[in-house]
Amino acid sequence: MPTKIKIKKMYIASDHAGYNLKNIIKKYVIKKGIKVIDIGPNNDKRVDYPDFAHLLSKKIKNKDHYGILVCGSGTGMSITANRHKNIRAALCYDIKSTKLSRQHNNANVMSIGSRLTKKNVALRCVSMFIKTSFDGGRHNLRIKKI
């Protein structure tokens, strides 16, 4: 049976390449009634993506906390975030990948590539991430093996 989620708090971070899309996503999530904590950066000056992926991942401390990471490709952020215990960061590049990341993998962090994902697609992915629940069942058994 799917586990219904109600996201109360969303952490968000980016690197310089993802800065503009991060701000667009942040406004969108706030309009959905979710509290957003922006981990940074505060401008589009060059920064190292691992620094911000680590900061965000350390904030995800319970099952009510979720995160969004944005960098140029989304890959570096997801690799970095997944080095943390209890983080299941998924590279989300379209609606289906996002939906399956929640349903099958119980992803609690989504990573988006600002250079590869158009704004409207990114916002639809964020919407899907927010509203999709984990299916549980056989998928829960697989999650426990991670």
Q: Regarding predicted confidence, which is higher, 67 or 141?
A: 67
Q: Average pLDDT for residues 105-117, to the nearest whole number?
A: 97
DSSP-derived secondary structure letter, 133: P
Kindly tell me the sign of the dihedral angle through the C-alpha atoms of 115, 104, 85, 38: positive
For the annotated catalytic residues, the residue numbers are: 71, 104
- What pLDDT score does 4 carry? 55
Task: Indicate the Cα dihedral angle 126, 97, 83, 24, nearest 10°.
Answer: -20
pLDDT tens-digit map of 2-54: 445 678 899 999 999 999 999 999 999 999 999 999 999 999 999 999 999 99
Whole-prediction pTM: 0.94
> How would you write 64-120 as a 3-class SS string?
CEEEEEEECCCHHHHHHHCCCCCCCEEECCCHHHHHHHHHCCCCCEEEEECCCCCHH
Rounded CA-CA distance 9/118 in Å is: 25
* Joined tokens for residue 41: 């950066």
pLDDT value for 1: 43
d(CA 126, CA 54): 21
Mean pLDDT of 84-97: 96
Domains and CATH numbers, the chain: 9-144 (3.40.1400.10)
10, 110 contact by CB (below 8 A): no
pLDDT tens sequence across 49-86:
999 999 999 999 888 899 999 999 999 999 999 999 99
